[in-house]
Structure 1
Amino acid sequence: MSKETIQIPLLPLRGLLVFPSMVLHLDVGRDKSVAALEKAMMDDQRIFLAAQKKVSLDDPEPKDIYNIGTLATVKQMLKLPNGTIRVLVEGLHRGEIQQFLDSDDEFMVEIKAMDDIHGEKHEEEALMRSLLGQFKQYTKLSRKITQETYETVEDIEEPSRLADIISSHLTLKVKDKQEVLELVNVTERIKHLIKIISNEKKVLDLEKKIGQRVKTSMEKTQKEYYLREQLKAIQKELGERDGKSSEVEQLREKIEESDMPEHIMEVALKELGRYEKVPQSSAESSVIRNYLDWLIVLPWTKKTQDTIKINRAEKILNEDHYGLEKVKERILEYLAVQKLTNTIKGPILCLVGPPGVGKTSLAKSIARSIDRNFVRISLGGVRDEAEIRGHRRTYIGAMPGRIVQGMKKAGTINPVFLLDEIDKMSNDFRGDPSSAMLEVLDPEQNSTFSDHFIEENYDLSNVLFIATANNVNSIPGPLLDRMELISIAGYTEVEKLHIAKQHLFPKQLKENGLSKGTMQIREGALLKLIRTYTREAGVRSLERQLAKLCRKAAKIIISKDKEKVVVTEKSIEDLLGKPVYSYGLMELEDQVGAATGLAYTSAGGDILSIEVSHYPGKGKLTLTGQLGDVMQESAQAAFSYVRSRTNEFNIESNFYEKYDIHIHVPAGATPKDGPSAGITIATALVSSLTGRAIKKEVGMTGEITLRGRVLPIGGLKEKSLSAHRAGLTTLIIPEENEKDIENIPESVRNELTFIPVNHLDQVLKHALVEEKNESNKS
C-alpha cells in the first residue's frame, strides 16, 4: 500500500466509530457532512471517517476531531423524507490526518494511510485463539451479543481483521474504541482487546450474581422494589452497611440529641420503630419520615433571653418610626408589664391602620428591642382551616399548618410572631380559619395548641403574637375579643415631611448609588411631592416617588456628566411630569347643592363630595354613585326628614310631587357605604331646594335619624387628617364624638375648627351661607 498522502473529504462522526472491514449504515444531516458526502460521490466515492471528541458539538473544529480514523467507501446513498441522508459505508483501512485543508463548504483533509505492523506469526496465532475464547465466554454472559455473532467471527483468519470486527461488536465508549483503532501493532491490539473483554466479563458476571440474589425476593410488578434490592446487593458486594439501617441510626441520634420533651421523644422513637419495619417502597414510609423530620426540627424548649429595657426599646422605636407617639407609648407600657410580671400572658396586640403606615415594621422593631427572633406569616386570602391547624397525616402531601411552620422558621419557642392581614381571612366549605385562630390567640388555651399533622400538644404560650389589619369590621367578633386594638391613623403632612427627610430619602439615595453630595431635594419640592404626587394615609407611594426621583437623577448624572442634581419646586415637574393630584380638594367657591362629607376607608380617610339637584318631575328619588345599602338608607332618611320640615326650611310643602330629586356621589366606579354621610346628604338636599349655598371650607360627618338627631360615627381621626389634607378649615361633627378630638395630632387639631352638633338644625346653621335677601323658594 502506498505511503503517499491523499486529499479527501472528511465526515466527522458523533457517538460512533467505524473500523476497517466494517459495513455500517449512517444518518447524515449536518450541512458540512452532507457537502462532504456529495464531494465524495463526485470523486471516487471514498471518504475519511473520524470520530468527534465531544458528542454534543454541532459544529466541530479541527481540534475537536480525532486525528486517526478510517478511510471508507460509500456503497449507497438514500435521501430520507426528514431531509437527512442515509448512507452505507465500508471501512477500508486506517489513516492519519496530516492537515486540514481550507474549504468553506465541507471538511477537506490530507491523510496518510497507516499499515498494520505484524509480530511473530506463532504469537499472533496464540493470541487470536485466546481472543476468540474470551469473546465466546463474553457472548454467553452478554445479552446484547448472540451466538450467531460469535460464529461469524470464528472463521476469520486475518488477526488484524479479527481484532477490528470483535472491537466493533463490544459495547464500549467511543473513547475506548478509539484507543483500539489507534493501535497499529496487531499484537498489541489483540492484547489490549483481551484485557478489555476480561474486565467486561467480570462486570457482567457480577451483574449476574446481583440479579440472581435480587430475583428471589422480588415481585415482577415491583420495579422500584427491584431497583432498591439491587442497591442492597451492590452495597453488600462492596462490603457497605445496609442503607436503611444506617438511616434509622442517624434519625435515632438526631431524636436523642434534640430538645424535645420526654413524652414527645417516646412518640418519635415509636414512630421510628414503625419506620424501620415498613418497606422503603411503601407510601407510608415517606409519610413517617416526613413526620419524624418535623418533630426533630421543631423548637420544643429552645428560647432566646429577653432583654426588656424600656429606654432601649423607646430609642429603637424612635429610630425606626417618626410620630405615632400614642402607639409607641402603648407598646412601651405593654413591655413594661411583661418586665414586671415576667410572663408573656396578656392581651394580643392588633395594629390597625391603612396600608403603608408602618404596622409590619413596628412589629419588627418590637422584636429587635427585646432581642427576640421575628417571624411573619400572611393570612391574606386564607380560607382553609387546615392552613392554620395543618392537614391530617392520612392525606397525601400532608403538612403542618402555618403556625407550626412559622415556629420552625423562628427556631425558638418565644419569637415575636406577626399575623399579617388578619382581617383578610375568609371561610368556605373547607372550614373557618378564624375559628382555628381562636385557640392560637387565647393565652389560656395556646399552651396546648393542637396541630392536626403533629398531633401532639405544642406550647405557644411563650410567643408574643402581634396582628395587623386594615379594617376592624372584617375581623370576626370572637377573634376581635381576644385582641387589643392599637389604631394607627395616617400621617400628617408634617410627619410625612420628617419621615421622607430622615428615613425614606436617605434609604433611596443608598439604594440608587447616590449620596447627599450628588443629590439634594429642597423642602418646598418635598412638600409639593407629598401634596400633588401622592394621596395616601401611609408613605408607601411617597417612597416610590422618591425612588423615581433618584433614578431620574442618576440618569442625569451619568448621561449629562453632572456632579450634582438639586430638585426644586420648579424642577420637580420636569422629572416627574405634571402633578397627579390637585392639592386642596375643597370647592373653590360656595356651591348650591354640593356638600363635602368625610369618609373612612381601609386606606385611611378621604373626603366625599355629595351633589343634589332637582328638576320638574313627579317626585322620583334617584341615587347614583355605587352607594351601598346603608348609605342608600341614609339618603332615604335625609329625604324623609326634609319632607317633614318643609315649613321650617322655607321649601314648598309639595315639592316631592313637583320635582324629581337626584342625589349623586362622584367617583361612581368606587363602592361607598356607611351611615356617616347622613347629615351631608340632608344638607346638600336642603341647599338644592332652598337655593342657599354651602360654605366651601366646611366638611361634615354624622349619622341622621328621622327626627333630625345627629348620631356618633367612627374614624374621626382619619377623617380629620383627610379634611386637613384637602384644605378644609371647619369640621361639623356629632357632639358625642367631641371626646375623640384629643386623639387627633396637635398639628392638625390646631388648624381645624371643630363644631360639635346634636341636631340637623345646628348643622344647617353652620354649613349654609347666611341669606342676604328674602329666601328663594324652589
Structure 2
Amino acid sequence: MTKKTNAGKATPKGEKLPLMTLREVVMFPKAIIPLLVGRDSSIKAIEHALNNYNKKIFLVTQNDPKTEKPGPEDIYACGCVSRILQMFRLPDGTVKVLFEGLHRAAVNPEKVDFEEEVPEVETHFLPEEENDHSETEALVRATKESLEEYSKANTKIAKESVQSIQNMDDPGAIADAIMPHLKVEFNEKQEVLEEFDPFKRLQMAYAHLQGEIEVFSLEKKIKSRVKNQMEKNQREYYLSEQLKAIHKEMGRDHDPKAELDVLQEKVDQKNMPQQAKDKASEEIKKLRSMPPNAGEYSVLMNYVDWVLALPWNELRETDTDITKAEKILDEDHYGLEKPKQRILEYLAVQSLVEKMRGPILCLVGPPGVGKTSLAKSVARATQREFIRLSLGGVRDEAEIRGHRRTYVGAMPGKILQSLKRVDTNNPVFCLDEVDKMSMDFRGDPSAALLEVLDPEQNSAFSDHYLDLDYDLSNIFFITTANYLQAIPAPLQDRMEIIKLPGYLETEKNRIARHFIWPKQLNYHGLEDSKVSISEGAINEIIRQYTREAGVRNLEREIASICRKVAKKKVEEKDRKDKKVRVTAKSVPSYLGVSKIRHGEREDKPLVGVTNGVAWTEVGGEILLVEVALMPGTGKVEITGKLGDVMKESAKAALSYVRSRSDVFGLKSDFYKEIDVHVHVPEGATPKDGPSAGITLTTSLVSSLLNLPVRNDLAMTGEITLRGRVLPIGGLREKLLAARRGDINKVIIPEANQKDLQEVPDNVLKGLEVMPVQHMDDVLAEALMGTTREDLFCGDANITPISSKLMKEEYQEQAQ
C-alpha cells in the first residue's frame, strides 16, 4: 500500500465478508462497474456472497496482475465493500457480474487465510476525514468544468453519468465517481482510493482528469494534421513517403520508383513475345500507383519477376552431327535399337529443315531397362540441357498448369519452373513415371499434360499463373512408363510409343562386361588388371541371383562382389597385388546361396502336365499347367492365383473339349461324372494374360485321354471356342525362357511368325519353332502315344478317362 490506510481511525463497525481479488481494476464507492470473471476462486466467492452474505462482497486489487493465486503479500490492504447487483453465466464458463461500490474498508492481509476455498475477511470501516479546506468550492467547480470538457472528447462516458456527477457537492464523492471513467494505471487509481482526505482525493482526480484531456487534445491534433496531409496528398503517396523515410532512417536507402524503372528497362530489353512485354508493362504500371507495403504489391512484383526469368526465345545451339550422336548413344547403352534409331531420324530431319517441332517419345518398359538414362544420353548427344520431372504420385493439376494468381502462394507449374532453372527453351525434358499419376478432387494431371504433349497445341501452352501463351514446341519431350495400360488413351494418342521389352541374357552379359563391371571397379577403387570376372560368373549372377527385365539388380550384385573383393584386399595388405578372378564356382562365396529359381521342364512326359511360356515384368518364364480329374459332378476348380483372363481361358478350354467330345471319343456328358482341377504352381505369384489358352487345353485333353504330354516341348497362344489359335505378345522373352529351360521345341501362333524377325539369331539357334493355326495341330504335336488320325477319328485304341476307370485307379492307389 503506497499511502496510509487510516486504520487508526477505523470505527468498531465492520463485518465479515468473502474476499475477491481484482486484476488491474480498482473498485470505488458509489461506482457501478460490470466485470467479466473467469477464475474459479472468484466465481466461488461471488456464489458464496449471493448465498450467505446478502450479495455483499469485499473487492480488493492485486498489486501484480500476473499472479494467478495471490497471497497476503500480493494484495492491497484497502478495498471496497460492494454489492452484487446482477450476475449472468456465459456459455464459455465465465460470468458477467455488475458490482456496486458501497464504502471503503481495510483488512489485515496477514490474517487472510488464502488456503481456504473462499477466503473470508474481517473488514474495518474507513470513515472520511473532515473537509474544512477553503479552496474546496473552487476545486469542485474546476473539476466539473473539466469533466464537461472531457465528456465531449470521450464519447464513451454516458451523459447520465456526467449529469449525476455534476449534481454532486461532496468533493470525495466526486473524485470517487470520476476515477472509474479515466484511463489511468490501476496503481494510480489505488492511490486515490487510499486517500481519505476528500480535498486531496479530488485534487488527485482533477490532475488525472487534466492529463486525460491533454492526451485527447494531442490525439485530436495528430488526427487533424494527418487528415489535412492526406487531403492535400493522396493516401497512397503519404504511405509511400512514410515508408521511404523509415527505410532511410534504418539505413536502407530504397527507392521503389527507381526499382520499377529498372524493371521496365529489363522488360524492354528482354527477348520475348510482344504479348508478354505488354502484360509485364501493364503490371509495372499498376505497381507505380500502389504503395510498396500493400498486400498486392508483392504479388504483382513476383509475377513480373517470373515473366522476366523465363527463357522465352532463349534457344541453345544444338549439335546435329548424326555420326557423333550415334557414337554417344552406343557408348552409353547397349541394344535399344528402336529408340536410338528414332532419335537419329529426328536429328537427320532437323539438319535439313530450319524449324521442326520437338518429338514426343514415350519409352515404355519394365524398371531398370534404361529409360531415364537413355533420355540423359539424348541430351548429351544433342548438346542440350537435361530436365527430369518425376510425375509419380502427382495428383494436383496445378503441378502442371500452375496456380491462378488469386491463390495465396501461387506460382507457375513444374514445366515453367524447370525451364527457368535451365534458362533455355529447347532442352531435353524427361517426364518420368507418366503412368503413375493419379486423379482426385484437385483435378486430373494427366488431362493437363494433353496440352503439353500435343504437338499441335504446345506451341501456345497456357499456364494458369502466367496467363500468357508459352511456346513449348522446341522442347524434346521424352516420357517414361512401366505399363502402357496405365496411361490414359488420349494421352497415349499424343505420344510416339516405343517399347523397351527388356534385355536378353546375352544382352545382359554384354552390358555387365562392358558397362557395369568397369564402372563398379572404378567406384570401388579396384584395377581392371588386378580383378577380373568370367563370362560364366556373369551368367551365374544373371540366372541365379537376379530376376528382372533390366539390369538394376545385376549392378547391385556386381557392386556387392566388388565390395567384398575390396575388403579382402584391405585385410590382406601383404597380398594386395594378388590378382583376383571371379568365376561361376566362386560366385556363391561372394553372394551366398542362389536367390532365384527359374522354371524348369519336367524330367519325363506326364499326363495332364504341359509346359507353357509366359511373359512377366522381369522377362520370360516356364509356366507349368497341371490338370487333375476326380470323380464328381462336373465342378471346375481353378487355383494358382490366376487373373480373370486366365480363368476365362480355362473355361474356354473346357467348352472346346466338350464341343469336340465325339471327335476325342468321349461321352457327350462325360463332364457330369468328373470334377476338373486346373492348377498353375507357385500360387503366391499372380498370373494373368491372354496366352495360356492352348496350354490349358492340352493339359485338359491329356488328362481326359490319359495321354502324356511331351516334356521337351513348350507352347504359347490363346484359343477360341472353335479351336483357333490367336497371337500373343512378348515372343522374344518367351523363346529365351524356353531356351533357358532346356526346351527343344516351341509352339507359337502362326500370326506371330512375322515377329521371329525381331528375335536374335543366338536365341533361335538350336530351338525349333512351330507355328500353328488350330488346336488340332497343337494336340497332334504335343500328345504322345498316338497319331493325328487316331486322335481325331475316335480310334478305339485310345481309352478315354471314365468315372468307372478313375474309381478303380484310385482304389488301386489306396491299396
Q: Same fold (TM over 0.5)?
A: yes
Native 8 Å contact 2:605 2:711 kept in 1: yes
Structure 1 runs not aligned, ≥5 long = 1-145, 148-211, 218-226
Q: Does 1:664 align with 2:675?
A: no
Match of 1:763 among 778, 785, 788: 778
2:798 maps to a residue whose letter is: S
Q: CA deviation at 1:753?
A: 2.0
Give the equivalent residue in structure 2 for 1:777.
Answer: 800
Q: CA deviation at 1:359?
A: 1.6
Distance 1:341 1:619, change over 3 A: same
2:540 maps to a residue whose letter is: K
Q: CA deviation at 1:712?
A: 1.5
- Which shifted more, 381-390 or 292-301? 381-390
Native 8 Å contact 1:347 1:482 kept in 2: no
2:768 maps to a residue whose letter is: T
Superposition pairs for residues 70-81 of structure 1, below 5 Å? none
Q: CA deviation at 1:468?
A: 1.9
Give the equivalent residue in structure 1 for 2:377.
Answer: 365
Native 8 Å contact 1:522 1:568 kept in 2: yes
Q: Does 1:259 align with 2:271?
A: yes
Give the equivalent residue in structure 2 for 1:450.
Answer: 462
Give the equivalent residue in structure 1 for 2:16.
Answer: none
Instruction: Tell me the SS of whatever aligns to 1:649.
Output: coil
Distance 1:393 1:596, change over 3 A: farther
Q: CA deviation at 1:491?
A: 1.4
Superposition pairs for residues 548-567 of structure 1, below 5 Å? 548-561=560-573, 562-563=575-576, 564=578, 565-567=580-582
Native 8 Å contact 2:359 2:476 kept in 1: no
Distance 1:306 1:705, change over 3 A: same
Distance 1:251 1:591, change over 3 A: farther
Give the equivalent residue in structure 2 for 1:574.
Answer: 589
What is the distance in 2 between the residues matched to 1:346 and 1:259? 21
Native 8 Å contact 2:610 2:626 kept in 1: yes
Give the equivalent residue in structure 2 for 1:343.
Answer: 355
CA displacement 1:421-467 (0-9 Å, x = unmatched): 22223333333322222222222211101111111000011111122
Give the equivalent residue in structure 2 for 1:160.
Answer: none
CA displacement 1:746-771 (0-9 Å, x = unmatched): 22123432211111111112222334
Q: CA deviation at 1:292?
A: 2.3
Give the equivalent residue in structure 1 for 2:106.
Answer: none
CA displacement 1:83-127 (0-9 Å, x = unmatched): xxxxxxxxxxxxxxxxxxxxxxxxxxxxxxxxxxxxxxxxxxxxx
Q: CA deviation at 1:582?
A: 3.2
Native 8 Å contact 2:395 2:442 kept in 1: yes
Q: CA deviation at 1:256?
A: 4.0
Give the equivalent residue in structure 2 for 1:624.
Answer: 639
What is the distance in 2 between the residues matched to 1:666 and 1:294? 60
1:729 maps to a residue whose letter is: N
Distance 1:233 1:546, change over 3 A: same
Q: CA deviation at 1:704?
A: 1.0
Superposition pairs for residues 483-498 of structure 1, below 5 Å? 483-498=495-510
Native 8 Å contact 1:642 1:686 kept in 2: yes
Give the equivalent residue in structure 1 for 2:102.
Answer: none
Instruction: Tell me the SS of whatever aligns to 2:691.
Output: helix
What is the distance in 2 between the residues matched to 1:377 and 1:439? 17
Give the equivalent residue in structure 1 for 2:660.
Answer: 645
Distance 1:718 1:239, change over 3 A: same
Q: CA deviation at 1:233?
A: 4.3
Give the equivalent residue in structure 2 for 1:237.
Answer: 249
1:284 maps to a residue whose letter is: E
Give the equivalent residue in structure 2 for 1:473.
Answer: 485
Native 8 Å contact 1:344 1:463 kept in 2: no
CA displacement 1:202-236 (0-9 Å, x = unmatched): xxxxxxxxxx99x979xxxxxxxxx9999754432
Distance 1:233 1:326, change over 3 A: closer
Match of 2:715 among 700, 707, 717: 700
What is the distance in 2 between the residues matched to 1:605 and 1:291? 54
CA displacement 1:286-321 (0-9 Å, x = unmatched): 332332232122110111112211111111111111
Native 8 Å contact 1:471 1:602 kept in 2: no
* CA-atom RMSD in angstroms: 3.1
What is the distance in 2 between the residues matched to 1:216 and 1:609? 93
User: What TM-score does the superposition give when structure 2 sets the normalisation length?
Assistant: 0.64
Superposition pairs for residues 243-322 of structure 1, below 5 Å? 244-245=256-257, 247-322=259-334
What is the distance in 2 between the residues matched to 1:299 and 1:634? 56
Instruction: Tell me the SS of whatever aligns to 2:613.
Output: strand
What is the distance in 2 between the residues matched to 1:480 and 1:776? 54
2:322 maps to a residue whose letter is: I
Native 8 Å contact 2:694 2:719 kept in 1: yes
Native 8 Å contact 1:470 1:603 kept in 2: no
Native 8 Å contact 2:598 2:621 kept in 1: no
Q: CA deviation at 1:629?
A: 2.3
- Which shifted more, 234-243 or 707-716? 234-243
2:410 maps to a residue whose letter is: A
- Which shifted more, 525-534 or 540-549? 525-534
Give the equivalent residue in structure 1 for 2:557.
Answer: 545
Match of 1:397 among 400, 409, 416: 409
Structure 2 runs not aligned, ≥5 long = 1-186, 189-221, 228-238, 788-795, 802-815
What is the distance in 1 between the residues matched to 2:718 and 2:599? 25
What is the distance in 1 between the residues matched to 2:296 and 2:682? 58
Distance 1:256 1:420, change over 3 A: same
Native 8 Å contact 2:362 2:480 kept in 1: yes
What is the distance in 2 between the residues matched to 1:603 and 1:279? 63
1:472 maps to a residue whose letter is: L
Distance 1:516 1:750, change over 3 A: same
1:775 maps to a residue whose letter is: I
Superposition pairs for residues 18-29 of structure 1, below 5 Å? none
What is the distance in 2 between the residues matched to 1:774 and 1:652? 16
1:732 maps to a residue whose letter is: I
- Which shifted more, 457-466 or 366-375? 366-375
Native 8 Å contact 2:635 2:674 kept in 1: yes
What is the distance in 2 between the residues matched to 1:378 and 1:690? 56
Match of 1:590 among 581, 605, 608: 605
Q: CA deviation at 1:246?
A: 5.5
Q: Does 1:434 align with 2:457?
A: no
What is the distance in 1 between the residues matched to 2:358 and 2:744? 42
Q: CA deviation at 1:281?
A: 4.7
Native 8 Å contact 2:725 2:772 kept in 1: yes
Distance 1:406 1:508, change over 3 A: same
CA displacement 1:554-608 (0-9 Å, x = unmatched): 1111123342432122221111001112356333333332223233344444443
Native 8 Å contact 1:490 1:721 kept in 2: no
Give the equivalent residue in structure 2 for 1:353.
Answer: 365
User: What TM-score does the superposition give when structure 1 sets the normalisation length?
Assistant: 0.67
Match of 1:690 among 705, 720, 738: 705
Give the equivalent residue in structure 1 for 2:756.
Answer: 741
Give the equivalent residue in structure 1 for 2:538.
Answer: 526
Q: Does 1:381 align with 2:396?
A: no
Instruction: Tell me the SS of whatever aligns to 1:622.
Output: strand
What is the distance in 1 between the residues matched to 2:625 and 2:290? 73
Distance 1:254 1:338, change over 3 A: same
Distance 1:239 1:672, change over 3 A: closer
Q: CA deviation at 1:264?
A: 0.8
Distance 1:594 1:617, change over 3 A: same
Native 8 Å contact 2:640 2:683 kept in 1: yes
Q: Does 1:513 align with 2:525?
A: yes
What is the distance in 2 between the residues matched to 1:695 and 1:503? 41
1:685 maps to a residue whose letter is: L
Native 8 Å contact 2:613 2:714 kept in 1: yes
Instruction: Tell me the SS of whatever aligns to 1:372.
Output: coil
Native 8 Å contact 1:534 1:581 kept in 2: yes
CA displacement 1:329-361 (0-9 Å, x = unmatched): 333223222222333337522222222112222
